[in-house]
């Protein structure tokens, strides 16, 4: 029986089974990540370490449980990242029954592309946005901030890393719209001014409060929009 003929309860059952598999994978990733949490934290704090001369490049913790919960938080973040190929694959497998046979064959391609873009977003914010933002923020006014607590920094880092990771999924969203004929390339081209405005507003909201971070978010997002439009029109849009 084709999955398109599944009943609502059968779709719910499939969703439950896939969620259980994803949760098991994330749990295993969490356990493994916890043993490397010290190393992961050292990587996460690397962009800000040069500005923490008063504490020899290290973050401080100001409550008895802050360090413990921070390690848990970092381990959970790491488990989501390292298991992302698995849960991206299950997301696409779950929605693939609603696609045509040709689109179903592209499940692995979309799964890999989703993972690649997600990791690219995290790498982009880590290697480009954070260093430029911290340089601007810590040199603002000519004085360094000597002490920064572990938990607030990790919350900021993990939140922005996830946001950049998921925002970089824009090409998948646009190509999906074109592939399903929801909009045409012509419609998207007409919407360029609105897209640019939306990207600017989104960049201002999710980036650290400086113009450099905002610009470094806007430029790749707009570039991703144009590349996605070209790829979608060339290979996925059905006239």
CA distance 207 to 130: 10
Q: Is 183 left (phi over 0), alpha (psi -120 to 50) or beta?
A: beta
Contacts of 30 (CB under 8 A, 6+ apart): 75, 76, 78, 79
pLDDT confidence of residue 159: 87
Q: What is the 3-state secondary structure (H, E, C) of 30-88?
A: HHHHHHCHHHHHHHHCCCCHHHCHHHCCCCECCCCCHHHHHHHHHHHHHHHHHCHHHHH
CB atoms within 10 A of CB 2: 7
Cα angle at 169 between 196 and 32, to 5 degrees? 145
pLDDT confidence of residue 142: 58
CB atoms within 10 A of CB 96: 17
pLDDT confidence of residue 96: 66
Contacts of 166 (CB under 8 A, 6+ apart): 118, 121
Q: State the pTM of this model.
A: 0.83
Query: In the structure encoding, which two tokens stand for residue 214, read together?
Result: 């905002």
Furthest CA-CA distance within the chain: 69
Residue ranges of the chain whose pLDDT lies below 50: 1-2
pLDDT confidence of residue 3: 52
pLDDT confidence of residue 34: 93
Query: In the structure encoding, which two tokens stand for residue 184, read together?
Result: 């045409």
Q: What is the 3-state secondary structure (H, E, C) of 85-142?
A: HHHHHHHHHHHHHHCCHHHHCCHHHHHHHHHHHHHHHHHHHHHHHHHHHHHHHHHHHH
CA distance 23 to 43: 25
pLDDT confidence of residue 123: 93
Radius of gyration of the CA atoms of the chain, in A? 21
First to last CA, the chain: 30
Cα dihedral across residues 136, 141, 146, 150: positive or negative: negative
């Amino acid at each position: 029986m084709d999955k398109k003929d599944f009943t609502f309860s059968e779709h719910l059952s499939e969703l439950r089974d896939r969620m259980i598999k994803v949760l098991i994978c994330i749990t295993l990733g969490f356990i493994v990540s916890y043993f490397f949490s010290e190393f992961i934290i050292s990587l996460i704090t690397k962009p800000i370490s040069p500005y923490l001369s008063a504490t020899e490049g290290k973050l401080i913790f100001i409550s008895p449980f802050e360090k413990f919960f921070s390690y848990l938080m970092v381990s959970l973040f790491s488990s989501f990242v390292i298991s992302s190929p698995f849960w991206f694959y299950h997301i696409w497998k779950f929605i693939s029954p609603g696609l045509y046979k040709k689109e179903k064959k592209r499940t692995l391609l979309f799964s890999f592309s989703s993972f690649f873009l997600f990791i690219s977003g995290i790498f982009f914010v880590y290697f480009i946005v954070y260093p430029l933002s911290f340089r601007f923020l810590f040199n603002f006014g000519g004085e360094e901030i000597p002490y920064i607590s572990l938990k607030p920094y990790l919350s900021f880092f993990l939140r922005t890393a996830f946001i950049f990771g998921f925002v970089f999924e824009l090409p998948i969203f646009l190509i999906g719209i074109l592939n399903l004929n929801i909009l045409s390339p012509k419609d998207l081209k007409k919407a360029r001014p609105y897209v640019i405005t939306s990207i600017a507003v989104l960049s201002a909201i999710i980036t650290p409060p400086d113009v450099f971070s905002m610009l470094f978010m806007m430029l790749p997002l707009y570039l991703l929009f144009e590349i996605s439009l070209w790829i979608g029109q060339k290979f996925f849009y059905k006239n």
